[in-house]
Amino acid sequence: MASDTTPAIPAVRLHHPSGAELVVALRGAAVLAWRAPWRGADGVERVEDLVDGYADEAEVAAHDAARSALMAPFVNRLSGGEYVFDGVQHEVPPVLPWEPLTMHGFARTLDWTVVDRDDEDPVRPADGDPVRPVSVTLRASVAPDAHAGYPFALALEVEYVLDAGSLGVTLRARNDGATAAPVALGWHPYLRVPGHATIDRLELTVPARHAVVTDAGLLPLAGAEAFGAIDGVGPLPLAGVRLDHAFADLRTDADGRARTLVRDPATGQGLAVWQDRGLVHVYTGDGLARRERAAVAVEPVETLTDAFNRADCAADVRLEPGAVREFAFGVEVLA
């Protein structure tokens, strides 16, 4: 059963009448905790932790494993910390000085401000009536002189919507500068299925038509060679399986959302990560300094890794002055 071990740092909390709870850090707007009703093997419903967030303030300060980080203005790795945009070469050092590579963007280092929330006086309705969700919206800005190698001005906004058995996220970027800017958006949550100390008795299903093929540095191969045709993934037992791979061309359900599933095959219970477009990156947590394979990272991303350096992603990352782009995704409980 969940216990509140959320690190004591500045954060905003949402409470839903169902017992669901969301805790979001004001630094980085990362999800520190998401708890929701969950029916255990004994048939008793409890509120359980569904993300493997930061365990303490030291992990928060270190951005350990980029847990639940919002990724912007680039996702995953940027090859050599370099890119060329509109004929100008830019060099971006590692976002954090202790990181060996330039990766995951710097939205996770920004101070975010709450600009809207809808959770006042939540009331449990009469039996049979739907319980409305609660939400919070946070905003941060990227100044053109604040980050080496990224001389562009952005306004970033994230909306979190909490319901009894789901967490919805919409991440937005607006170009506040006078020139076009490269932008890619994503999310880096680590998900856990209650009752499982590791992921080894879980299975993964990805509705993808292509697996992204990478080199030894986990960078996608050039052009069409980056895409290997597959007929979906799974249900794949995760015992002994090591993944740090992206999947593309996702099949959608009737509601237009593509869903990647992590579940217990014995009970059918688990989590579904949905997204309205883009790719999904799956990392099984091998090699983490702490809590290795305790959770699986299922990361919705708009574009390929190293998209700033790929001609086939140029149109996808380009954001014109005044333009706004948003990326919607979330997680649902599979009962």
In the predicted model, what is the mean pLDDT of residues 122-138? 75
pLDDT of residue 235: 95
CA distances from 159 to 138, 163, 284, 316 (A): 7, 13, 27, 22
Digit-coded pLDDT (tens) for 221-271: 999 999 999 999 989 999 999 999 999 999 999 999 999 999 999 999 999
In the predicted model, what is the mean pLDDT of residues 318-333? 98
Q: DSSP letter at 331? A: E
pLDDT of residue 5: 67
Whether the Cβ atoms of residue 158 and residue 172 lie closer than 8 Å to each other = yes
Q: How far apart are CA 258 and CA 280, in angstroms?
A: 9
- Tell me, yes or no, if the pTM score tops 0.85: yes
Taking alpha carbons only, the member of 76, 100, 62 closest to residue 187 is 76
The percent of residues above 70 in pLDDT, for the chain, comes to: 95
Q: How far apart are CA 288 and CA 294, in angstroms?
A: 10
CA torsion through residues 205, 207, 210, 215, sign:
negative
Whether the Cβ atoms of residue 189 and residue 297 lie closer than 8 Å to each other = yes
pLDDT of residue 190: 96
pLDDT of residue 125: 55
Whether the Cβ atoms of residue 290 and residue 281 lie closer than 8 Å to each other = no
